[in-house]
Amino acid sequence: MKTWARGLAGLLLAAALQPAWSAVEDGYELWQRYRALPPVTQSEVLVRALSILPATPMTPTLQAAVAELKRGVAGLTGREPAVSAQLADGALLLATPASAPAGLNLPWAELGREGYLLRSVKLQGRAVTLIAANTDIGLLYGSFAWLRAAQTGADLGKLDLRSAPRLGLRLLNHWDNLDRTVERGYAGASIWDWWKLPDIRDARYVDYARANASLGINGTVLNNVNAKADSLTAPFLAKAAALADVFRPYGIRVYLSARFSAPVELGGLKTADPLDPAVRAWWKAKADEIYRRIPDFGGFLVKANSEGQPGPQDYGRNHADGANMLAEALTPHGGVVMWRAFVYAPDAGDRAKQGYAEFQPLDGRFAPNVMVQVKNGAIDFQPREPFHPLLGAMPKTPLALELQITKEYLGFSTHLVYLGPLFEEVLRTDTQRPSGVTVAGQLTAMAGVANIGTDRNWCGSHFDCANWYAFGRLAWNADLHASDLAREWVMQTFTAKPGAVDSIVSMMTASREAVVDYMTPLGLHHLMGTGHHHGPAPWVDNLERADWNPVYFHRAGRDGIGFDRSPRGSNATAQYAPGWAARLARPETTPEEWLLWFHHLPWDYRLASGRTLWAELVARYDRGVASVVDMRARWATLQADIDPVRHADVTAYLAVQEAEARWWRDACLAYFQSASGLPLPPGVRPPERSLNDYKALRFNFAPGRGG
């Protein structure tokens, strides 16, 4: 025991009262507030965290773990612990295989490189809480897990939790531009202050890393997929290297979005053809340069031949040719290429089919260090989409699932829309390739388009932070339930009072279905305003490309509504596994939530409710508005349970959400009534304004359009 103790570089927890937060709640601390627990629970935490015996050596990552435990215990109990190498009753022990006490047999192999184990054990007659892992990053993740357990009411004296991530890469994709605008960002400017970097490193970067590490997020793409070649120049690589230095102790690697035409724009070449030897040599030299500055650089994210971005098809090549060229440059350094499957071109027919058509035939032709990054649906982050047909259709290719945390089509940051149910919905879908295997079971990585900015509360509104939280937790373990994650988040963020927690969780879990109802019920999609994507505009029909117009997607007229993707129409259903294809081919077997995605149906088509399609559509819009009214009422009853500043903030946002939900409902019903020629069902409230009034609205400076 003495020999083992001397081998530790460790610390003992001595009591010292130290406030760990500001007097006014503003959301900055996210789910890491570490507020004082009730006295009984506080005593339990204090006993269980009396000492920390860290593993050796004391790396920067392990130092971060110890610092977080000290910060957390101080906040939860009012006493900041210190460290020593003596094992005491109530010790909180951090151990790796090299430092674990003799006789402590643990399932080390099952933990892998990043996993951890939390367990209450007896060592030498003393009650000890063990945080065990094979590596220092595992100990950091385990430390965050213990603090989460302490904040959410777990019995710390009976802990027995083993957890390891199923996916090796769990990343945020920042759509941040070099001028600090953020495409589809609604929380202020980019948190990366490129002008001041690399010399000035904002303390906020550390808090960003802490928050991500607490969820197990281990990568961040710093710049927009609509990339500028400048991000690969020496000055910007120095800035990226400075951020990498900050993030490294927290297990977070940096990645960059690469512009495919960079050899022309930066290298002076006449071509970016991926099969040209000079182009390949340029990318190899660029990769070598990057790794000299950032030895643990993660790799490239690429958007190519989509929405005007350059790519290999400009030279008659395919996506595999382009991706494999970059992979070749990164292979000696262990880097990866994440090649996005979000592609669509003018006059390509049904836009929902293009991604599958271009990528599925290339299955097995990508280099081993290439991942094809696929959005959850085939159009573009709609309130609800069927799962992308590529998911499960490329068994020989590593796939990354791309989810949008920022709410481009879901009310910006203004509307309370908890996306955990959306994430869970796609992850648990059985692709039937093969039967019984879910989307989650066929992934190599998950990427979330970040909603983070310079707003003090990080995400624009307090509840939007729950979407960042849910993404990270599900990327680590897709078997978690969205409702449970909402409960965790509420208890760490707002309050642990059971009644208040239940009420807030109920609001959150109902909110995604509410927004589907008041925006795009029954499988409608792409009804938003042009460019800024703010508010309803189902009438738009004059844009340059057919698939930029909402009328292209809903096709409402006297004969009915919906996009026919059945075998009688575009036959997009054929891109799914045979079981799904057969089910989706007929409206009576298609899930009603996807009905108008796959079928154009007459207004008098009968649904399961017994109502006609027109009456059901109206009822869904009304139900969505009613859900928001209920959310406002629930929140109002919680004034005594939530700090006044944040309660007032959310109250104001919910008022906006109700007004905009009514706007969506009224504008859409006014338009669809004009298209159908049908009267509103008896007793239904008519739209407040005329269709022409809604069409006349303009939003020239709406946020989130980027640079």
* 653/646 Cα distance (integer angstroms): 11
Please give the angle made by the CA atoms of 164, 494 and 496, to the nearest 5 degrees: 75
In Å, how far from its chain's centre is CA 233? 29
Strand, helix or coil for residue 265: helix
243: left (phi over 0), alpha (psi -120 to 50) or beta: alpha
Structure token pair of residue 178: 């070099």
Cα torsion 261, 267, 268, 270: sign: negative
Alpha carbon distance 245, 209 (integer Å): 11
Positive or negative: CA dihedral 30, 149, 468, 497: negative
Q: Where are the alpha helices (DSSP H) in 403-497?
A: 420-427, 465-476, 482-493
Q: Are 530 and 563 in contact (CB under 8 A)?
A: no
Q: Of 289, 328, 363, 380, which is the active-site residue? A: 380
Question: What is the rounded CA–CA span in Å between residue 267 and residue 567?
Answer: 48
- Give the count of beta carbons closer than 10 Å to the beta carbon of residue 639: 11
Residue 408 annotated in active site:
yes
Q: How far apart are CA 244 and CA 218, in angstroms?
A: 12
At a CB cut-off of 8 Å and minimum separation 6, what does 268 contact? none
Q: Has 179 been annotated as catalytic?
A: no
| Tokens encoding 235 | 């000055």
Nearest C-alpha neighbor of 347 from the set 552, 533, 554:
552
Residue 567: cis peptide before it, omega within 30 degrees of 0: no
| Spatial CB neighbours of 138, under 8 Å, sequence gap ≥ 6 | 111, 113, 114, 115, 116
For residue 371 the two structure tokens come to 């991942």
The one-letter amino acid code at 283 reads: W
Side-by-side strand order, sheet with 51-53: 11-12, 51-53, 91-95, 126-132, 116-123, 160-163
Query: In angstroms, rounded to a whole number, what is the distance separating the alpha carbons of residues 493 and 308?
Result: 41
Euclidean distance between CA atoms 580 and 548, whole angstroms: 28
- Residues 155, 307, 479, 688: which is the catalytic one? 307
Integer Cα distance of 382 and 489 in angstroms: 24
Cα 358 to Cα 319: distance, rounded to the nearest angstrom: 8
**Alpha-carbon gap, residue 243 to 254, rounded angstroms:** 8
Q: Is 513 a catalytic residue?
A: no
By CB atoms closer than 10 A (0-12, 13-18, 19+), residue 247 is: buried
Given 44, 408, 547, 660, which residue is catalytic? 408
The residues carrying an active-site annotation are 307, 380, 408
